[in-house]
Amino acid sequence: MERMNRRSALKTLGALGCATGCLAGGLMTGAAPFAGPLAGPGEARAATGAAGTPAATAGRFAQQDAPFSWKPHVLDARLCAPVAYDGYWHQGYGCGYGVFYAIVGMMGEQHGAPYNQFPFSMLEVGKSGISDWGTICGALLGAASAFALFWGRKDRDPMVAELFRWYEQTAFPMHDPGAAFKGVAGALPTSVSHSPLCHVSVGRWCQASGFAEKSTERGERCARITADVAARAIAIMNARQAGTFAVAHGDPASVTYCGECHNPGKQSPLLKGKMDCTPCHSGSPHTADKFRNHP
C-alpha cells in the first residue's frame, strides 16, 4: 500500500510538472495566458498586485446600458392584472414571476426590445417567499425588481415604501378571475397581514380562513394577490411617470413608537428595517415575549 502511495504521489508530481512546464512554454512562446475567472468577455486580464492578489479588472461592474436607464411605459392595470394571475400558475413559477412579467413582460409584448429580452424565469426565485423560505412576499420582490430597472434608489425607495405599506394594511385578496380561475372559483376570505413577509401573510390568512397552507384555496389566494400587487405597482409606476406620485400609506403606530428608542441616534439604536413591529414583537404567547420587563 505504501509503494502504491508513493507511485501515486510520483504520478501526481509528474502531472503537475507537465502542467507547469506547459504553462511556462505557453508564456515563453507568446501564447495568451489564462485570464482566470476575473476576466469577463472583452475584459483584459487582471493584473496581480504585490501581495499576489488580483488588481481590479478593467471594465468591472460596467454594463451595456447605464444603470436604471431603461425607459418605463404606462401600462393598463386592468389588462396586466389577469396576466399576473396567469403568470402565478405558469409552470408553477409563482408570485414573483407573475408580477414581474405583468410589468416588464407586458412592456415587451407591447414595445419589444429591450423588455422582451429579459430572462423572466429568473423571478421564479421569489416563489413562496424566495425559494420556499417565507421571507419577503415574492409578489413584492417582483414589483420592486421591476421598479429597479427604471429608477435609482432616490426615486425608487418611496415607491417601494408605498407599495409595501399598502400591502401591510390591505385586506387580501381583492382580484377575482371569474370564469378564468385556475384554482377555485368564487369569493375567498380576506385578511390583513400587517407584514410584507410571506410567512406572516400566508399564516394569518390560513388562520383567518381555516384553509391549510398547502390547500388549493391558499394557492388561489396567492395567485389573486399576485394580480393585486401587479395592479398596485403599475398604478404607482404610472403616477411616477405622470409626476403625480404621492405617498398615501404612512408608518403604523408601532414603527413610530418603537423608533422613539430604537432608531439610530436614540437610546437603544438597534432597529433595522421599516416593517410593522407588531407581528413579531407583540409580546403575545405566540411570539417572542419582547415586552417582558420592557421599560
Residue 48 lies in a domain: no
Residue 178 lies in a domain: yes
Of 214, 242, 270, which one is at a domain's C-terminal end? Answer: 242
Shared domain for 177 and 279, answered yes or no, is no
Range of the domain at 115: 77-242
Of 223, 242, 261, which one is at a domain's C-terminal end? Answer: 242
Query: Beta strands of 22-141 (E only): which ranges?
Result: none
Residue 29 lies in a domain: no
Shared domain for 120 and 234, answered yes or no, is yes
* Contact predicate 104/148, CB 8 Å: no
Shared domain for 259 and 235, answered yes or no, is no
Checking if the pLDDT of 42 tops 60, the result is no
Residue 125 lies in a domain: yes
Shared domain for 139 and 208, answered yes or no, is yes
Shared domain for 212 and 278, answered yes or no, is no
Residues in the chain, total: 295
Q: Is the dihedral of CA 261, 264, 269, 271 positive or negative?
A: positive
Distance of alpha carbon 43 from alpha carbon 39, whole angstroms: 5
Shared domain for 145 and 264, answered yes or no, is no
Residue 128 lies in a domain: yes
pLDDT, residue 36, reads 38
Shared domain for 125 and 220, answered yes or no, is yes
pLDDT, residue 289, reads 65
Q: Are strands 171-172 and 191-192 parallel, antiparallel or unpaired?
A: antiparallel
Tens-digit pLDDT profile for residues 121-171: 999 999 999 999 999 999 999 999 999 999 999 999 999 999 999 999 999
- State the residue for C-alpha cell 404610472: 238
Shared domain for 177 and 270, answered yes or no, is no
Nearest CA to 201 among 139, 123, 256? Answer: 139
Average pLDDT across the chain, whole number: 84
Contacts 24+ apart (CB under 8 A), 108-115: 110/73, 110/75, 111/73, 114/65, 114/70, 115/70
Residue 33 lies in a domain: no
Peptide bond into 173 cis (omega under 30): yes
The rounded radius of gyration (Å) of the Cα atoms in the chain is 26
Q: How many independent structural domains does the chain possess?
A: 2
Write down the pTM of the prediction. Answer: 0.78
Shared domain for 107 and 205, answered yes or no, is yes
Quick one: three-class SS letters along 3-28?
HHHHHHHHHHHHHHHHHHHHHHHHHH
Residue 65 lies in a domain: no
Shared domain for 181 and 85, answered yes or no, is yes
pLDDT, residue 219, reads 98
Shared domain for 237 and 290, answered yes or no, is no
Shared domain for 144 and 273, answered yes or no, is no
Tens-digit pLDDT profile for residues 149-163: 999 999 999 999 999
